[in-house]
Structure 1
Amino acid sequence: MQAKETLFADLVQGRAQQFQVPLYQRTYSWTEKQLGQLWTDILDQAELLESGEKASTHFLGSVVLAPSPQNEATFPRWLVVDGQQRLTTLSLALTAIRDHIADAEPDEAERIDDEYLVNKRKNGSDHFRLLPTQADRAQFAAYVRGPLSEQAVGGAVAAAYSFFRRKLVEAADPAAPQDVFRIEQAITSRLTLVAVTAERGDNVHRIFESLNNTGLKLSQADLLRNYLFMRLPTRGEHVYETYWLPLQDSLSNDELEQLMWLQLVLDGDDRVRRQDLYAAQQQRFERGEVSEAEIEAYIKKLYRRGALFRRLLYPDVEPNAAVRGHLHRLDTWQAQVTYPALMLLLDRRERGDLNSMDTARAMSYVESFLVRRMMCRVPTNNLNRIFQAVPGQLPLDMPVADGLHQLLSAENRFWPDDDELREKVRTAPFYKFGRGHQRKMVLQRLEESYEHPEPVDFAAAQLTIEHVMPQSPGDEWLRMLSEDVVDGESPKDLHSRLQHTLGNLTLTAVNSELSNHPFERKQDLLQGSHLEMNRRIAATERWGADEIRTRADELTDRAIALWPAPLRGVGRAERSRDWNLAHQVLAALPHGTWTSYGDLAAFIGSGAQAVGNHLANTPGVANAYRVLTSDGKVSDGFRWTPQDVGGDVRARLTADGVRFTANGAADPAQRLSADGLASLVGEADDQADGEEDAAQHTPESQGDQTDADPFYLQLVAENSPERRFFRQLAADNSRETVEAVRALFARWEELGGSIVTVGNDTTGASLVLGEAGAPPSEISPVSLTPGCGLGGTAYFNFQWLAVQEPFTNSSLRAEFLRLLNELEGVDLQERQPGQGPDPSFPLSVLEKDHNRELIVEALMWFRDRWKGRGTD
């Protein structure tokens, strides 16, 4: 075996060659956690390139290669024994960059293709530089080859590609733009790999087993400890017993490693990454002759700061009540990203540079910085850099607390002021950003601000977030909202805009009892609440748009008092950030989906007309043509910008997997609502720091379910292609309806059909016969939507069937309709092509066993007619 250090560009560039992932390898499996960390490393390297610093490259890991049995002298082929996850991810990142610049820089896009992704003069599977394992091959090829096909829907490969498309749009934020070609350079020439090449006679399977053999690896803390005590030949035993052993006993190995990293940051190294801790500290000690006394001083300082670090981990050990309160809230927020700033404050207090009152004041700025940014939907992607830079950037000519206030108020820190906070509380869908525990903490602090004489014990209370105006409004709610609509907006559109705003949210322990009841019923329950905010809601005569906005203004006043504002005179963050969020979510639209102007407006807290104007006048917005009217039509006012590559909009939509009914409307089952759009970026933001967002699995994020519902937890844990569809279904429908749909899907699959769900955020499912994604050899009689606030619905695709053999025969369509109308509670009327949407009925109809038997019989009849087409 031969091993050498290399770069991605050096590995894959040059002559035509191919890297093949063997069948015994697992499928591609990187998630947001690994992708987020890699993206952070890429941006770090891109910044180093921009600054011209001669810093070390980032070591990404190893790649183990062996000659393929198909190897040819003129076309080398390599088996990827280890490292396929890295190679696949980097290839997808470059594919996303190619597509990101394709319209504006077609020559550069072609260069990326030729240099890294394809063998230009090879055909078939030989065309691809990287050939993933069999299960991933078709989907990976679909993205590299383009344009996308149905094979590209869903899966880890699609999710990774979508991640990079969204991050590239985010990186192009006008407020802090990053050069896309510098990002490409960072990927290809700043990420170091160790390429281990096996000889032809080596046992590849033995190598694979050895590489993947489980075992405990030495951590960064282990390596650094060993290094330090090798440098203490005479003082080692005393230092170990006096400082190191107590420190090691008080912290876990991971916590000790984090403390060592924080020590480097506090000492002024604002660029060191935790994974580079050992190398960075070793480099500092080897810059000159380091005595045992200096090593001992380092460990002694580490020991002293270990006691301070424990206060971040266990706030109850902090003696001062005000500081303890802030530490508790930041711990609840899971704000580990702020540790450099918090450690600096505790360290300076211990040194006597500030007292506990000023320490608490400085921590209030940190807390406000996080809370206001979350409430105003500022992305979290740069928080690590902001707080890691605090020790090195803190002004030296003013008190510590004032210096931190000024530093965080800098214009490029995007700390929202009072005006922006007031606007966002009124308009932004608070419920769809941040993490569940963070949203809950904001509401808890707002409740505490009323200073009720008998406050609720929040630690003991089982409180969840409640929508006062429910997510699934009944007729009474819609009638009330009809009194508040303006400018031709429908009650449903108004509901979509207001339902998730802070003014419509509260905390309650009787979530299931409140449910979707009319406001009068909710008033009675809220009146008996121990929470002051609920009593104030109950004292309101009605609960419409004006009341929600009035409460939003009241809560904003309290938020402004609780969380201090940035210093004046540094300017307010531009609204372009909202448009950048819209650009991100459009870039992340999964294949086979579309959205409406109203949905996109509700997602960013704007208006449909403003969204239309922005898209019409902003060149280069990815997937802008996939924003349609609410009935699935291309807007009469849609125009390509002069800089965009135009063409027939409907043809572009069809190529992107959007289906059309006979009347020319996009399939409603493929529409992503505002909630669906939020999940495309919301979950990613939740996991930006490498942790899975438990809030996405808690009841408050899923239609106010209860923690004790084992059926709901079963749905959340289920690892099937329909998982997201069922999560939304459970959020918006009764348990009986969800069980009925699951039973229907099972029977359909028994009949030889399949279930096709839409994208990463499933907002629709279709019953399909034939080879999915290969029209005309597939057909779908039924599409289902989970509700997204309005209850689940079954749509019968009659207008599509009208042009599909053998159902172009009107008598067959009529017979199918008759069979469906035998279901109790169903009365469907076929519409002629172009005359309104397809007929539908509520999914709750399927709760009755008899109705499920009848619909299965109708579907069997449908299957038999379709399979027998052309035999008459």
Structure 2
Amino acid sequence: MARINLLDTRTTSFGDLIGNGKIYRVPPFQRDYSWNEENWEDLWQDILVLHTNPDSSHYMGALVLQSSSTSDKEFTIIDGQQRLATLSIVAIAVINKIQKLVEREEQKEANQERQEILKRTYLSDRDPRSLRYSSKLLLNENNNDFYQSNLINLRKPLNIRSLSNSNQLLWQAFQYFSNHLEELQGIVQSGEKLAEFLTDIVAQRLLFIQINVEDELNAYTVFETLNARGIDLSSTDLLKNYLFSLFQGPDDLQEAQRQWRRIVNTVQMEKFPEFLRYYLSLIQTRVRRERLFKVVRESVKDGQQAFELLDRLENYGSLFIALSNSNDEFWRDASENRPYIRELELFRVKQAYPTLFAAYERFSPENFTRLLKLVCVLSFRYTVVSSLNPNELETLYNKVAIAIINGEITNPKQVFDNLRSIYVSDEKFLQDFSLLSISTKGQKKKLVRYILFKLETDVSHIEVNEDSFSIEHILPESPSSEWRQSFNDAQIEEMVYRIGNLTPLEPHLNREVGNELYTIKRTVYQQSVYTLTKNVLAEEWNPNTLATRQRHMAQRAVHIWRSDFPV
């Protein structure tokens, strides 16, 4: 594998960047400006700390720039546009304060000269034709016009409400920093001190790690290796920018933008890399997260291929979201799938997504439902009960997905044949279930409720309401001293959350028995409608009777969570 060539990595300041005669461009299709008051407040507090501590500096994180192939004076901002745009707005706010002093004729000539120097240093020189200032920082296609026409030239918009949300945020950022500068009474009344505030604090003591990369692939690799907040969003933007660069005409570009928005609105930006990896697993084996961009760039070379990719992503996007939400409208006309989708939610199993993507496209609706059931059984045995290594699951499901897409696997039985190695044997499943212990606190409580529901339904032959019962701990979570005659401290810790110690019980009966002794509880259990609970008939409750009950439950579980296909 070729070594990644980072052209430059060094510490730099906002002043060093923006004051060196170079131009920094946000890619045209990069995300719009999105910082809000919470972000501005964090930055302002950092600046105030620098103001009160003259020898201090503040690290602003990594700034990733892509060098231009045509000029050593121009860079594309791959990551850091929000921070650079906001610091530029701080500079504009300071310059505007000096302009106010000029208008009030306070040291007019000196402040005019300061203003001109600061504008040339941090914004740009005037265009000799229009006499307007243009920025050394160029924002994306949705924000740049407003940034140049209004902010750089200190022109208040005529109708703020008519602006796009991101342009409103840009203007609100300017107002925020303008208002907070007013609070610095010792500074805001002096052009000299305002200039010092900008040049010595904002420009020199807010520091970045500057990383220059040669191309988009290197930039993507940087994103995947930096341990910083927001990396997924930036890498997704990078992929989007690459795809959009392949479209030649404005009509194709606009359609691609509309399609991208639909995909991202469905999938959600932060989940997009995960979604893309599952999709690419229909095409290649062992797609690693850090290779997503490289895989796309190798397979998508022109606008037609980019449209084909967007079409496929849009087709799979709704399914991706629906696989983790049994209440999704996607299942409105396939309600038979909802119980299995809920099980996938409970088991937190996503390795099967590529197989489910492929099967939804190639299998009949009936066979897709059968496959969902099979995946749930495999997952419950392998992941929930036996807690085996999930890495093998991903590899196998990946291979099965490709085989389905290629027409080599055409039905759930063939899927099972290819996944037979991860079907936990009855003997091992019985053994592991006999010792299964799951906390009834937090999210795991839903899983325990599901297991008791399935066991109760099987023993009573009546489908009970899963949400109607309380989870009763026969050995209480907080046992009295009398209970300790049957269980020592180590046994209590080990056995209180064993499945054999848990049973469904009506809420009012659960409150009635509380932490009572077993002899009292056993009598109350006979009043329950739940067969699983009425069958708790042992003379006493101790480690042996608990283990015996759980073995019986395990025997029942073996045939509840069983493949429909011969083993």
TM-score by length of 1: 0.35
The question of 1:206 aligning with 2:206 is answered: yes
Q: Distance in 2 between matches of 1:254 and 1:548?
A: 45
- Structure 1, unmatched stretches of 5+, are 12-79, 85-202, 350-354, 482-490, 570-872
Distance of aligned partners of 1:204 and 1:403 in 2 relative to their CA distance in 1, 3 Å threshold: farther
Contact 1:425 1:556 in 2 (8 A): yes
Q: Does 1:456 align with 2:465?
A: yes
Determine if the alignment matches structure 1 residue 425 to structure 2 residue 433. Answer: yes
Check conservation: 2:256, 2:307, Cα contact below 8 A.
no
Q: Which residue of 1 aligns with 2:98?
A: none
Which residue of the partner structure matches residue 405 of structure 1? 416
Equivalent position SS for 2:387:
coil
Query: Which of 487, 502, 505 in structure 1 is aligned with 2:502?
Result: 505
Counterpart AA for 1:377:
S
Query: Structure 1 pair 270/215, CA: closer, same or farther in 2 (3 Å)?
Result: closer
Alignment partner of 1:259 is 2:275 = yes
Q: Aligned match of 1:553 in 551, 554, 557?
A: 551
Kindly indicate whether the alpha-carbon contact (under 8 Å) linking 1:448 and 1:455 is maintained by their aligned counterparts in 2. yes
Q: How do 1:123-522 residues align onto structure 2 when only pairs under 5 Å count? A: 206-208=206-208, 218-234=233-249, 236-237=252-253, 239-240=255-256, 243-267=259-283, 269-286=284-301, 290=302, 292-316=303-327, 317-318=330-331, 319-349=333-363, 355-373=364-382, 374-380=384-390, 382-392=392-402, 397-410=408-421, 413=422, 415-431=423-439, 435-450=444-459, 453=462, 455-458=464-467, 461=468, 463=470, 465-474=471-480, 476-479=482-485, 498-508=495-505, 509=507, 513-522=512-521
Alpha-carbon distance in 1 for matches of 2:232, 2:491:
56
Q: For structure 1, which segment, 206-215 or 340-349, has the greater mean C-alpha deviation from structure 2 after superposition?
A: 206-215
Asked if structure 1 preserves the Cα contact closer than 8 Å seen for 2:440 and 2:448, the reply is no
Name the aligned partner's letter for residue 285 of structure 2: D
**How far 1:502 sits from its partner (Å)?**
2.0
Report if the CA contact (8 A) 1:308-1:347 is conserved: no
Contact 1:371–1:442 (CA under 8 A) maintained in structure 2 = no
Quote how far apart the aligned CAs of 1:314 are: 3.4
Q: Tell me the secondary structure at the aligned position of residue 336 of structure 1.
A: coil
Q: Once the two structures are superposed, what CA deviation does each residue of 1:580-625 show, in whole Å capped at 9, x if it has no partner?
A: xxxxxxxxxxxxxxxxxxxxxxxxxxxxxxxxxxxxxxxxxxxxxx
Alignment length, in residue pairs?
351
Judged with a 3 Å threshold, the aligned counterparts in structure 2 of structure 1 residues 370 and 220 are, in CA distance, closer, same or farther, namely same
Q: CA deviation at 1:330?
A: 0.9
Deviation at 1:326, TM superposition (A): 0.7
Alignment deviations for residues 767-799 of structure 1 (CA, whole Å, 9 cap, x no partner): xxxxxxxxxxxxxxxxxxxxxxxxxxxxxxxxx
Deviations 1:66-104 (A, max 9, x none): xxxxxxxxxxxxxx98999xxxxxxxxxxxxxxxxxxxx
Instruction: Say whether the 8 Å CA contact 2:385–2:429 is kept in structure 1.
Output: yes
What is the letter of the counterpart of residue 433 of structure 2? V
Contact 1:338 1:387 in 2 (8 A): yes
Q: What's the counterpart of residue 169 of structure 2?
A: none
| Structure 2 counterpart SS, 1:207 | strand
Following TM superposition, by how much is the alpha carbon of 1:228 offset from its aligned partner in structure 2, in angstroms? 1.8
Matched to 2:336, the amino acid is: A
Partner SS state of residue 449, structure 1: helix
Cα distance in 1 between the residues matched to 2:396 and 2:513: 42
Is 1:534 aligned to 2:544, yes or no? Answer: no
CA distance in 1, matches of 2:318, 2:420: 30
Paired residue type of 1:501:
R
Residue identity matched to 1:278: F
Tell me how far apart the structure 2 counterparts of residues 333 and 226 of structure 1 sit (CA, whole Å). Answer: 36
Matched to 2:434, the amino acid is R
Q: CA deviation at 1:561?
A: 2.4
1:696-748 Cα shifts (integer Å, max 9, x gaps): xxxxxxxxxxxxxxxxxxxxxxxxxxxxxxxxxxxxxxxxxxxxxxxxxxxxx
Against the structure 1 CA distance between its residues 497 and 240, is the aligned structure 2 distance closer, same or farther, given a 3 Å change threshold?
closer
**Whole-angstrom distance in 2 between the partners of 1:83 and 1:467:** 50
Question: Counterparts of 1:802-813 in structure 2 under 5 Å?
Answer: none
Contact 1:364/1:564 (CA < 8 Å) preserved in 2? Answer: no
Measure the CA separation in 1 of the matches of 2:492 and 2:228.
Answer: 55
CA RMSD of aligned residues (A): 4.2
Write out aligned runs for 1:643-654 (5 A): none
> Would the alpha carbon gap of residues 525 and 223 (structure 1) be closer, same or farther in structure 2, given more than 3 Å must change?
farther
Q: Any residues of structure 2 matched to 1:464-863 within 5 Å, and which? A: 465-474=471-480, 476-479=482-485, 498-508=495-505, 509=507, 513-537=512-536, 539-565=537-563
Matched to 1:559, the amino acid is A
Preserved contact between residue 221 and residue 260 of structure 1 (Cα < 8 Å): no
SS in 2 for 1:322: helix
| Structure-1 separation of matches of 2:409 and 2:353 | 22
- Is residue 437–residue 495 contact of structure 2 (8 Å, CA) maintained in 1? yes
Aligned-residue identity in percent:
20
Using the TM superposition, give the Cα deviation of residue 262 of structure 1 relative to its aligned residue in structure 2, in angstroms: 2.2
Contact persistence 2:449–2:466 (CA under 8 A): no
Closer, same or farther: CA 83–522 of 1 in aligned 2, 3 Å = farther
State the distance in 2 between where 1:216 and 1:271 align: 22
Moved more, 321-330 or 309-318: 309-318
Contact 2:267 2:318 in 1 (8 A): no
Superposed displacement of residue 419, structure 1: 1.0
Distance in 2 between residues matched to 1:501 and 1:314, nearest whole Å: 28
The ranges of structure 1 where at least 4 consecutive aligned residues each deviate by more than 6 angstroms after the TM superposition are: 80-84, 209-217, 566-569
- In structure 1, the partner of 2:184 is none
One-letter amino acid matched to 1:271: R
User: Do the aligned residues in 2 keep the contact of 1:417 with 1:566 (CA within 8 Å)?
Assistant: no
Query: CA, structure 1 residues 215+342, in 2 after alignment: closer, same or farther (shift >3 Å)?
Result: closer
Which residue of 2 is the match for residue 119 of structure 1? none
Change (3 A) 1:82 1:443: farther
CA distance in 1: counterparts of 2:309 and 2:413, whole angstroms:
29
From the superposition, tell whether residues 308 and 493 of structure 1 become closer, same or farther in structure 2 (CA, over 3 Å). closer
Contact 2:352 2:397 survives alignment (8 Å): yes
Give the number of the structure whose alpha-carbon radius of gyration is greater: 2
- Amino acid of the structure 1 residue aligned with 2:206: R
Aligned residue for 2:503, secondary structure, equals strand
Kept after mapping to 2: 8 A contact 1:405/1:566:
no
In structure 2, give the amino acid aligned to 1:264: L
